[in-house]
Chain A
Amino acid sequence: MRSPLIPEMATQEVQLNETLAHLKSESESLKSKLEEERAKLHDVELHQVAEKVEGLGQFVMKTRRTLKGHGNKVLCMDWCKDKRRIVSSSQDGKVIVWDAFTTNKEHAVTMPCTWVMACAYAPSGCAVACGGLDNKCSVYPLSLDKNENLAAKKKSVAMHTNYLSACSFTNSDMQILTSSGDGTCALWDVESGQLLQSFHGHAADVLCLDLAPSETGNTFVSGGCDKKANVWDMRSGQCIQSFETHESDINSVRYYPSGDAFASGSDDATCRLYDLRADREVAIYSKESIIFGVSSVDFSLSGRLLFGGYNDYTINVWDVLKGTRVSILFGHENRVSTLRVSPDGTAFSTGSWDHTLRIWA
């Protein structure tokens, strides 16, 4: 009795394809309309406005500390608010808390999974969050007792359906924002593990996120494999702005210190700056000699410098306003996978696939 059903199903399938095709063409026409509208606006580039700004002098930046102790690729790191401690995570599942100033290791945790791609320091400095291939984000309260097994007090907070790519505490130890390979971001309550809000809109893995600096602090930006950078309202879960000018995966996004713009780093070997109020890209940071992707970006305290860690083992320092490269730093012996500027801007730290972390100043 199957034959009468088949023509029906066939018609349904045709209808579905038609709807899809219709949606797709409407999508394309909306996209070009959007580009038209954006182009109509005064198309000013940042470097044009910054023509009269004084140029930067010579820089002497070098490695001030090298942190050795990970047995495999370092994948992520974060600074503590005390400006000298850092937490780092690696491919072999180890998460280490260091006092970068003395290079002493203070705490260590072994995760039950490998590829711990995300880690974050709690604002109080008394806990760390991490996750990766276990699809979860767990919070470990730190303890001064050297004999205590930190894994015993661990709290499993976030649960995704694919790998955890990034995590960040909000303004307190009580909430965590996560992004995942399952294409979503989510906000969680640490104490209960409850999902407070989820953010859907990326069409592929979400690789990075950054919270907006505090004044009106209810938004964050995320970047993904769909080449899009999306700005989200934490309260409603809505995507309020979207930018798609990169030609490949966006590996890192970071807000400009004023919160009015953000930078992104991508596998297409460029970094770009997007102005939120002008609603468009206002600068591209690229050079013919740079052919490898950017894994991680961060701004100096004033926002004048943009540091980028690249997959060709180097760090490039850009003059944000003028769009020129002011310095290139060598030292790592494999990909630079993570880069963060310290909370008071006195140094920046890089983590690399060569198993080490370096502090530069």
Chain B
Amino acid sequence: MCIKVILSHCLKFRKSVVLEMQDPKSGVKSQPQRLVITAIPHAVTGEDIVNWLSERLLVDTEEARSVGSMLAALGYIYPLQQHKRLVIRADASLYRFQTPYFWPTQQWPVEDTDYAIYLAKRNIRKKGILELHEQEQYNHLHKWMNHKWDFIVMQAKEQYRAAKERKKPDRVVFECQERAYWVVHRPPPGTVSAMDFGLERRADPNANQVQGEETGKLAHSSFLIPLSRNFSRCSLFSVVSLVKYSSTYQSHDPFLSRPLPSNPWHTDDATYWTLNSHNVETPTKQRVERWTFSFAELLSDPRGRDDFRLFLKKEFSGENLAFWESCEDLKWGTAATMKEKAEQIYKTFLARGAPRWINIDGKTMEITIKSLKHPHRYVLDAAQTHIYMLMKKDSYGRYLKSPVFKETQKKAIAPEEHNDSQLEQNARTRRPSLSPIVLRQLEAERRAKMAAAAPVDITQVMSKLSRKPQ
């Protein structure tokens, strides 16, 4: 992200709040403080900064302190003691507001040349005053800026001389300001810097870009699409449905109501996960309740789908769900086997006399069969949607009233809430769970066993016979 971007947004806030803080009447109260032997004017305590921010922004002290520290990290406020740590301590520690000249928003680039001059200047003032990391930087800059070094030393001497002509208090203040500026822009090792922007992003949206014709056309066309659609005049209805969804699921949201028996992350007890695993024999009451919220909920829960499959089998309409699942497999499967899958689906579900023929309307059937001549992964979309809607509007309703569902509902368990006394012991006995890799192997083995032990499916045999050359 560009430096310009990170600093330009919220510029108004920082400028206005930081300026407000310095207002002599309504800002943070300041007074001259004695630092070593010189008096520093306009120093403020951390505690006052935190309290002022807390009142102004209507937040508690911890957040106010965090905001204050961010302002310090960016260089708007600097500490007088412990100058390398750019955080606000909510006590009698002293801080000053940085002069606007040194604000990061001034947008002049922070040059290594300036840093070299600064370090050289300090060296002139007193040899051996540079800290270890500064000394290292100085040596490094001296090496690769060698060709400019005369200029740098000259500038350093000039600035040093000019500084000496100032009055002592002004000089001390300026030295503090300058030092603070460099702590922000050349942070000591091991500290977190607010100037760390991460990777540069390719495009800066704030720059006036000369768009190529192509991007111009693209931007142009992106507006045409929404205008040509029919706007929903039921935007109120849509917003209301968001509220309704939240209310429906509120009692199932672990952040809003306690999961039973307990949230594993709170109590270190993984029973909640064991009770709700994919292939559990008896689901929990909460889980079963979710299946009644929508057809999509029922299908997306593997245990729910199994229950639904059982119901459909009893109604002899299992082919609908099987077809839908095959379509999903086609859509999300590998490109390599796609054609084969499409053919297989056609033979099993759509062809005349197919063993698991599904009932879709004539028009959809026509479109589907036509597109199957040039199959692609979305070729069965129309048919899939038709069957989905059929199940949703017809089978789903009957399922919820069926003995299969009622039986499941009756058997569903309501686990008792864990009490908190076990916590410490639980933390010591945290167990790892089976890796998904192992689970997948076990599942594959289970399926293989079932397939081997299953009675011969007469429809499969018939279809095989019908495919044999006569």
Contact = CB atoms under 8 A, between A and B. Distances in A.
Interface string B193-207: 000101101111100
B253 A302 contact: yes
Interface string B47-84: 00000010001110011101100100000000000000
Given A192-B335, A275-B238, A258 B245 contact: yes
Given A30-B220, A50-B243, A241-B226, A300 B253 contact: yes
A198 interface: no
Contacts of A241: 225-226
A65 B440 CA distance: 27
A159 to B, nearest CB: 16
B85 interface: no
Interface string A150-165: 0000000000001100
Given A248-B9, A289-B57, A301 B249 contact: yes
A109 interface: no
| Chain A contact residues: helix, strand, loop or mixed | loop
A24 B6 contact: no
A34 B223 contact: yes
B252 interface: yes
B432 A102 contact: yes
A126 B264 contact: no
Given A101-B430, A304-B250, A277 B255 contact: no
Contacts of A59: 255
A276 to B, nearest CB: 8
A60 to B, nearest CB: 10
Interface string A339-352: 00000111100000
A41 interface: yes
Interface string B422-461: 0000000011110111111000000000000000000000
Interface stretch (B21-29, B129-137, B211-219, B349-357): B211-219
Interface string A245-263: 0011100000011101100
A53 B252 contact: no
Given A267-B1, A278-B239, A227 B220 contact: no
Contact of A301 (B204, B236, B255, B378): B255
| Chain B contact residues: helix, strand, loop or mixed | helix
A124 to B, nearest CB: 6
B213 A172 contact: no
A237 to B, nearest CB: 12
Interface residues of A, number: 129
B67 A291 contact: yes
A242 B226 contact: yes
Interface of A: 16, 19-20, 23-24, 26-27, 30-31, 33-34, 37-38, 41-42, 44, 46, 49-50, 53, 56, 59, 61, 64-65, 73, 80-85, 99, 101-102, 104, 106, 115, 117, 124-126, 133, 142-144, 162-163, 170-172, 174-175, 181-183, 189-192, 194, 196, 200-201, 203-205, 207, 213-215, 218, 225-227, 230, 235, 238-242, 247-249, 256-258, 260-261, 267-269, 275-280, 282, 287-289, 291-293, 300-305, 312-314, 320-321, 328, 330, 333-334, 344-347, 353-354, 359, 361
18 contacts: A65-B265, A83-B273, A99-B433, A101-B433, A115-B199, A183-B203, A189-B334, A204-B202, A214-B300, A225-B202, A226-B203, A260-B245, A267-B6, A291-B10, A303-B242, A304-B246, A330-B66, A346-B259
